[in-house]
Structure 1
Amino acid sequence: MLPRVAPSGEDRRAANQHRAALEALFAPRKEPEPAVESGPRVKTGREAPGRIVLASPPQSDPVAVERQKLLARVLAATGRPAISKAVNDFMKAGHTFPQEQDVYLQLLEHTDEERVQDAIQALTTILAGELPKRRAVLESRLRRIEEFAEEGRTRDAAAHLRRHLGGSPSGRRKDEAVDSASTVAAPPVSATRPTGNGAPEVQEEQ
């Protein structure tokens, strides 16, 4: 058996080069990496559609929602205690009533006469430009206030409003003008006496 001879350095280099050449020959080829564009990306029709993000619905004003809810309770309440409580809750929350007949028609049933007087004043202003919507109900409540209100100014205000419910707004204004004109005192009438020639002589009052 022949002794084993160790390969020299040149033999090892040659073997390594031969092995590398074989690996390069049989290794799978890699596709070149696409070049990265530095400019803005141009969208094409083949791209997948982006995700649509819907905007959140606008939030309602909580103060307006509360006001509408309390106002609905005022309009839906029946009976003086329930109406008074609904009105007090509405005002306690810091809201103001809209200038509508139905609202102040409810306030006429309040147990506090100060609220009743405010309602009569508001209805007087509203009805100066429009006809009453629920005239029978309005007259009935005004009559009750005339009869049972404790304060005289409350009774007088209710009576005054009830007297001016009839006719159109323009007709009511004419009637008010006639009423005010009729209160003006007429000038004194001069007395006359016949003279000697039969013609009346004007006698001035002293």
Structure 2
Amino acid sequence: MRKDETKVWHNPELAPFARAPKSGSTTRSGTTPQDSRVAKEHRAALEALFAPRREPEPEGSGKNGKNGRDSTPKPGRIVLAPPPQSDPRATERQRLLSKLLAVEGRPHITKAANEFLGAGFTFPDDQDVHLKLLEHSDESRVREALSSLSSLLVGELPKRRAVLESRLRRIEEFAEDESTRDAAAQLRRQVSGRPDTQNQSAQ
């Protein structure tokens, strides 16, 4: 009897689950893996059918889910046409004039002024420019500056009166040409408000 009972324990018909089911065999629930996959797909389809529908967000009204930045389209940027290329001559003139106004000392002023004239430009009627030219080493340029300043100061007040009077005194004292010294003295009297003694004596 014990031998028969031992055989019963190993009988595959009485213990069908002792061995692993082969491919395509049924599971304990009596379903095949294929039936289980079909059931899952069916369940997923039902869940999708009865799940509450979400209204799609209008395009551009939300934020980008990836980085959270606002994806609202911004108004188009107005692109202005590039400005026309400036006149290279005008640019060169401005550069040389700025250089003249920036330098100090007679040698540097003389060099900058000659460079400006050598490029074919003429000095503008500006007090600061002609005040610089009073330091030119060529007295003919100094006399031209004195004449221009005399005309400008008829209708304008001197911008840098102390500097102007100081340079005029130095020209009166150290200029080699007498006409240069006389022009400087006359302009200094005009700036200081004193009458022109030469014109009174001539009358």
TM-score, normalisation: structure 2: 0.57
For 2:141 and 2:198, how far apart are their aligned partners in 1?
29
Measured in 1, the distance between the counterparts of 2:103 and 2:179 equals 27
- Does the C-alpha gap of structure 1 residues 180 and 151 become closer, same or farther in structure 2, counting only changes over 3 Å? closer
1:157 has 2:183 as partner: yes
**Other-structure match for 1:46:** none
In structure 1, the partner of 2:99 is 73
Q: Aligned partners of 1:69, 1:83: CA distance in 2, in Å?
A: 14
Specify which structure has the bigger relative contact order, considering alpha-carbon pairs within 8 angstroms and separated by 6 or more residues. Answer: 1
Q: Say whether residues 1:61 and 2:87 are aligned partners.
A: yes
| CA–CA distance in structure 1, aligned partners of residues 202 and 107 of structure 2 | 42
Matched, 1:125 2:151: yes
* Residue from 140, 164, 171 that aligns with 1:145: 171
Query: What is the aligned counterpart of 1:96 among 117, 122, 137?
Result: 122
Tell me whether 1:135 sits opposite 2:158 in the alignment.
no
Code of the residue aligned with 1:106 in structure 2: it is: K
Partners of 1:54 and 1:145 in 2: how far apart? 54
| Runs of 5+ unmatched residues, structure 2 | 1-77
- The verdict on how the C-alpha distance between 1:162 and 1:89 changes in structure 2, with shifts beyond 3 A counting, is same
Aligned residue number for residue 27 of structure 1:
none
Which residue type is aligned with residue 65 of structure 1?
T
Residues in 1 aligned to 2:106 and 2:142: alpha-carbon distance in whole angstroms: 12
Q: Shift in Å at residue 53 of structure 1? A: 8.3
Q: Give the secondary-structure state (helix, strand or coil) at the position aligned to 1:96.
A: coil
Query: Residues 54 and 119 (structure 1 numbering): CA distance in 2 closer, same or farther, change over 3 Å?
Result: closer
Gaps of 5+ in 1: 1-51, 185-206
What amino acid is aligned across from residue 165 of structure 2 in structure 1? Answer: E
Secondary structure of the 2:155 match is: coil
Deviation at 1:57, TM superposition (A): 2.9
Q: Distance in 1 between matches of 2:99 and 2:107?
A: 13
Matched residues in 1 for 2:191 and 2:141: separation?
21
**Percent identity of the aligned residues?**
63
User: 1:132-183, CA deviations, whole angstroms, 9 ceiling, x for partnerless residues?
Assistant: 110110011111111111111001110111111124xxxx7xx45x974564
Q: How many residues align?
A: 126
